[in-house]
Amino acid sequence: MAELFTPTLNCSKTDITSQATLWMTSVVFRVYIPSVLSAFSLASNIINILVFSRMGLKDGATATFLVLSVSDGATEFYGLLYSILITIRYFGHLLLQSNSGAESTDEYHPPCSHSHPRFRQTSPSY
């Protein structure tokens, strides 16, 4: 009988990079960079919408660029919303600690925490 495959993280001590380095790299590439890019893109699309609407819709190219700016702005709005949700996913435990009145500690909790059932190390059975 075939077992279901559940992904596990390799938390061996022989990894080239530490789990802390992988965690910080993941935070930078999944939280900080997309948030900043989405915010700048949304701001530039708002400026484009204002410029193209003031130019008027006399020309077909201007109307096309206005519609393109509106659709790209809507896409970036959802991208910024997604970035906010990812930020809550990564740093939600800090928000819960500060709201519950518990002392905030700067402890590092890597994604390979053995206390979480999803990340328990299992040896492959052949």
The pLDDT of 75-88, averaged and rounded, is 89
The dihedral over CA atoms of 55, 59, 61, 62, expressed in degrees to the nearest 10, equals 20
Residue 74 forms part of a structural domain: yes
The pLDDT of 27-43, averaged and rounded, is 90
The pLDDT of 93-106, averaged and rounded, is 62
pTM: 0.58
Number of domains in the chain: 1
Supply the pLDDT for residue 114: 47
The pLDDT of 71-82, averaged and rounded, is 93
Supply the pLDDT for residue 14: 59
Average pLDDT of the chain is 76
Supply the pLDDT for residue 21: 83
Residue 56 structural domain: 34-99
Give the model's confidence band at 65: pLDDT under 50 very low, under 70 low, under 90 confident, else very high.
very high
Residue 90 forms part of a structural domain: yes
pLDDT beyond 50 at 118 = no
Question: Which residues, 6+ apart, have CB-to-CB distance to 98 below 8 Å?
Answer: 104
Residue 79 forms part of a structural domain: yes
Question: Which residues, 6+ apart, have CB-to-CB distance to 120 below 8 Å?
Answer: 8, 114
